[in-house]
Structure 1
């Protein structure tokens, strides 16, 4: 298959996902549709390396991850992080719910080894899945080695639509309150030039014409490099994901005026970065063959269903205690099933489906986006890797 044909096919799948999401007003998220189409493609005529052939090898995807996560940090402020302590507790409660449900019930249905392998990938991303897969293989548990990867691949199929439903209910409630005057707008947005002058404190004396797209990319990449450098320096003492540091450094860089808010969008690179990263995520579906799915279908469905139930119960309880709506609490917990960039994409899809009014969109964004992003990072990027490091020792 030629590169351009592969590129046309994979982009067409992403477009179909967007089309279905738009037609259904985000009740069926684009990431869910695209994942299904990729899975069907891999089971029929797709070459296993179609994403790499299209021009998205892992090294390119890694570059985009650094840029996107650092850019994501510019969406959050240090003050917002302080304000998101409830989100952190809700995310941790959701993870605790998964652990409680699987150890309390799942152990009797699927066996202790299956549950040990299932939990870290279920509450995290590819890193924890790979850790558990390798650990299971080293322990001679071949089927469970495959199971760790497949559960990571398949868990989003439950998370995507459930998150969309929860966020749509939350969004409608917020809009109703805003239209009644019960929620105040956070104020008029400033123009991009005024905003840029205010944000870029470190470059306020620099002529505007020098703040080119390349300069924006340079500053973004430099902050990502600092995150990588610090993670390598800390490696002998403590393992810290460079992606976690990218988020933190992005927040700091925005706060001190080195990066502006939405810097990747202003450099006209956000859409391309998201496209590349989503193709890389769907590339993971190539390992899920029909025979593998059939062999592990029972524990796969069982662990995901039990995990989601445990997540809902615990998030509902902590939501009541913290006075957070059950829909928002459940949506935050569900980010454990997919993380970034799906949490960002689904949230924006829901917002776009509910209103086109800029003031209303800003209200929804201010109330929903930050909790979803923080929740995803707490569960997928941080806690899941810690759990994998602990659980792999029990195999």
Structure 2
């Protein structure tokens, strides 16, 4: 079959998953629909395993992984991260307790490899999953490949309801509180993005130049991996954050180059390709460790959130949701805040107050965990196998 037909088939599955996610307000994530559908088709023989690779998107997605991570490093300005340092620190404390809990308890109950297979995905999103699954495959641990898949696809169903519960309680407290700390962007922050680029401004208006710089950053990360042995994902993050801070790259670079949509599709093909070789028996065998990983990981996140709340004198109903963004990330964090503000605010002013209070720390929490923390955690842990 022609690659264009195969690509159309799988992109249709992705589009259907996206529509279901939109209709369910992200309660049923796109990737859950895609992974479940493709896995079912592979197991029943409706789609031969060769179809995924023959679409040629898998090779493209593999090349784009370090490039996308460089882009993720440009997502939120370093200055904003510093100003929201409390949300960043609380999230990192939650991640630390979650990972330590999984590594200690799961290693005792099962084994270290199983703990590593779950620790990366439980703290983040698609990149952490890809780093973990590819690392397991390269290390020869194909028998537990189902664990990161299962953790990655079902953690939304735990994280989003818990977040909604705590945020609703917090929103009730702040909706009539005139002293609530509304977080507004300052003129200084707004002017930050207007600082001149290192390269001529006209060059940075070109999509091709931005894409070239992203690829250069990704290639440099891979080179540093070869030279140092430190995972390319970590280098790519550092390169992205540094390049954005020094104005070598614009913020949200891939979006500025109008390339984020096709890049994410190629990345999802990498996820689909990781399903090849995973069997029903492996899924069934992984259910017990996955359930234990989910419980231990989520409890660890919440314990860390409570400790962070004590340190910075935050309300626990605010700190816990910020840390729980590790389980779903963007756009789930945005959609939940929007829904809570609309349902709990009794008028437009109260809705705005809730949005202003919660949006920035929730987005920063998700960025810290899903975009940065989980990639670092997965990269480090995989290197220990």
Counterpart selection for 2:306 from 308, 320, 326: 320
User: What is residue 343 of structure 1 aligned with on the other side?
Assistant: 329
TM-score (norm: length of structure 2): 0.79
2:372 and 2:257 mapped to 1: Cα distance? 28
Structure 1 residue 134 displacement after superposition: 6.1
Question: Does the 8 Å CA contact 2:322/2:366 hold for their aligned counterparts?
Answer: yes
Alpha carbons of structure 1 residues 8 and 363: separation in structure 2 relative to 1, 3 Å: farther
> Is 253-262 or 375-384 further displaced after alignment?
375-384
Partners of 1:344 and 1:309 in 2: how far apart?
A: 22
Q: Provide TM-score, normalisation by structure 1.
A: 0.77
Q: Which is worse superposed, 255-264 or 304-313?
A: 304-313
CA change 1:189–1:301 in 2 (3 A) is: farther
Question: Is 2:113 the counterpart of 1:117?
Answer: yes
* Structure-1 residue corresponding to 2:231: 241
1:18-40 CA-partner distances (Å, limit 9, x unpaired): 11112222222222122211111
Instruction: Please name the residue that 2:3 is paired with.
Output: 3
User: How large is the Cα RMSD of the aligned pairs?
Assistant: 3.5
Shift of 1:7: 1.7
- d(CA) in 1 for partners of 2:192, 2:173: 28
Cα gap change, 1:207 to 1:78, in 2 (>3 Å): closer
Cα deviation for residue 100 of structure 1 reads 3.5
How big is each residue's C-alpha offset from its partner over 1:107-127, in whole Å with a ceiling of 9 and x where there is no partner? xxxxxxx42221111112444
Which residue is equivalent to 2:93? 89
SS at match of 1:57: helix
Structure 1 pair 201–326 and aligned structure 2 pair: CA distance change class (3 A): same
Q: Separation in 2 of the partners of 1:28 and 1:215? A: 37
Which residue pairs with 1:155 in the alignment?
A: 151
1:25-71 Cα shifts (integer Å, max 9, x gaps): 2222222122211111212211213332223123x113322222111
Distance 1:260 1:55 in 2: 30
Distance 1:385 1:207 in 2: 35
Number of the residue aligned with 2:19:
19
CA distance 1:170–1:292, change in 2 (3 Å): same
Unaligned runs of 5+ in 2: 121-128, 343-347
Match of 1:308 in 2: 294
- Aligned match for 1:255, one of 245, 259, 264: 245
- Which SS does the other structure have where 2:375 is aligned? helix
Number of equivalences: 357
Find the counterpart in structure 2 of residue 142 from structure 1: none
Show the 5 A alignment for 1:345-384.
345-347=331-333, 350=336, 365-376=359-370, 380-384=374-378
1:1-395 to structure 2, matched below 5 A, reads 1-44=1-44, 45-58=46-59, 60-82=60-82, 83=85, 84-103=88-107, 106=109, 114-124=110-120, 125-129=129-133, 131-132=135-136, 145-169=141-165, 180=176, 182-187=180-185, 198-203=194-199, 206=200, 208=202, 211-233=205-227, 235=228, 239-294=229-284, 296=285, 300-323=286-309, 325=316, 329=320, 332=323, 335=326, 343-347=329-333, 350=336, 365-376=359-370, 380-390=374-384, 392=385
State the alpha-carbon separation in 2 of the partners of residues 285 and 352 from structure 1. Answer: 34
Give the whole-Å Cα distance in 2 for the aligned partners of 1:18 and 1:99: 34
Separation (CA, whole Å) in 1 of partners of 2:61 and 2:211: 16
Instruction: In structure 1, list runs of 5 or more residues that go unmatched.
Output: 107-113, 138-144
Contact 1:122 1:304 in 2 (8 A): yes
Aligned-pair CA distance for 1:163: 2.7
Question: CA 1:350–1:43 in 2, change beyond 3 Å: closer, same or farther?
Answer: farther
Partner SS state of residue 258, structure 1: coil
SS in 2 for 1:286: coil
CA deviation after TM superposition for structure 1 residue 207, in Å: 5.4
Contact 2:233 2:379 in 1 (8 A): no
